[in-house]
Amino acid sequence: MKPGIFIDGEHGTTGLQIRERLATRDDINILSLAMEDRRDAEKRREMLGSCDVAILCLPDDAAIEAVQLIEETGNEKCTVIDTSTAHRTHPDWAFGFAELDKEQASKIKNSKRISNPGCYSTGAIALLKPLIETGIMAADCPVTINAVSGYTGGGKQLIAQMEDASHEDHIETSFHLYAMTMQHKHVPEIMQRSGLDKRPLFMPSVARFAQGMLVSIPIHLEQLSYASVATVRGALEVHYEGCEFVSVASADEVAAAATVKPEDYANRDDMKLWVFGDDESGYVNLVAQLDNLGKGASGAAVQNLNLVLS
């Protein structure tokens, strides 16, 4: 019997893209609520109580409630993949970044509770984890993370503000910073999953393109141990060797790159890591290039689903 997959919140931005990615698959059975039934508590409870995998595309409070409903129905077979922030630092949930280390894919495959990383977090953790793990970067290193995302990362309200000139809160600017207090909800998972002890300065921004993301971390080489640009790139290459969804730009690719554009990774489920820098000047700039709705959300959820079903 084909496993039943219920996307709770399938009519939201992340849910719609997950649904699209699964639409042509014949190895699963998609369980779906009609648009008019999505707020029907009893029908939703029935879905959560009968599915084999629940992919939660919900706000934090609703995601927590969904897990409680699954447990109340006694649906012990159900694996939960939660795309919200609610469980990303929970010790009993597997963190859904399979490339975190050599054991993480197995942890995801064998877990009933999986928390998808945030989009910014995916890029930041991918860059920081190998350096901290190898001792090239100290856990208490002062880190600044600059990032820009396509506006679809803000959900339907921001999409409407960006795309609809008649919207009462229409945003006309082409670029803006936000989370000015630097207390963004992704920071705790970035710290926990990368190994940082010192809270990073994280400054996210949104630009007027739909999908794509750049996460950049500029570092002075003197802040790192036994480090050169080649050493830093080498640590990333070793960590991600053989990974399907994460690659590291070669030195030749870096030398040839006049620009790195977030839109170039729109509608892709993989991520590319870049190491720019100059030993003589003593600096390095680490850059993650991904789709905020691909490897940063929906694509990652499907990757985790595939691990669960494998």
CA gap 231, 103 in Å, rounded: 24
Asked if 136 and 71 sit in the same domain, the reply is no
* Cβ neighbour number for residue 90 with a 10 Å cutoff: 12
Query: Please, what is the Cα angle at 123 between 122 and 127, to 5 degrees?
Result: 115
Those residues whose C-beta lies under 8 Å from the C-beta of residue 109, and which sit 6 or more positions away, are: 307, 308, 310
pLDDT digits (tens, 9 = 90+) for 71-127: 999 999 999 999 999 999 999 999 999 999 999 999 999 999 999 999 999 999 999
Q: Verify whether residue 51 is a known catalytic residue.
A: no
- pLDDT for res 274: 98
Asked if 77 and 215 sit in the same domain, the reply is no
- pLDDT for res 165: 56
Q: How many structural domains comprise the chain?
A: 2
The CATH number of residue 153's host domain is: 3.30.360.10
Asked if 147 and 279 sit in the same domain, the reply is yes
Asked if 278 and 177 sit in the same domain, the reply is yes
Asked if 110 and 148 sit in the same domain, the reply is no
- pLDDT for res 39: 79
Asked if 113 and 124 sit in the same domain, the reply is no
The CATH number of residue 42's host domain is: 3.40.50.720
Q: Where are the beta strands (DSSP E) in 211-295?
A: 213-220, 246-248, 271-278, 283-290
* Residues of the chain under the 50 pLDDT cut: none
Q: Could you tell me the two tokens for 14?
A: 């992340």
Q: How is residue 223 annotated by DSSP?
A: G
CA gap 265, 249 in Å, rounded: 14
Closest-CA residue to 189 (of 147, 126, 144, 112): 126
CA gap 77, 75 in Å, rounded: 6
Looking at the DSSP assignment, which residues form a beta bridge with residue 202? 145
- Farthest CA pair distance, the chain: 65
Catalytic residue selected from 57, 78, 119, 141: 119
- pLDDT for res 294: 97
Side chain identity at 33, as an amino acid letter? L
pLDDT digits (tens, 9 = 90+) for 289-308: 999 999 999 999 999 999 99
Asked if 104 and 127 sit in the same domain, the reply is no
CA gap 188, 178 in Å, rounded: 18
Looking at the DSSP assignment, which residues form a beta bridge with residue 274? 287
- In the block, which residue shows the tokens 């710290």? 191
Asked if 141 and 108 sit in the same domain, the reply is no
Break the chain down into helix, strand, coil percent, rounded to 5: 40, 20, 40
- pLDDT for res 174: 81
The domain of 304 spans 4-117+297-309
Residue 48, H or E segment: helix 41-50
Asked if 275 and 302 sit in the same domain, the reply is no
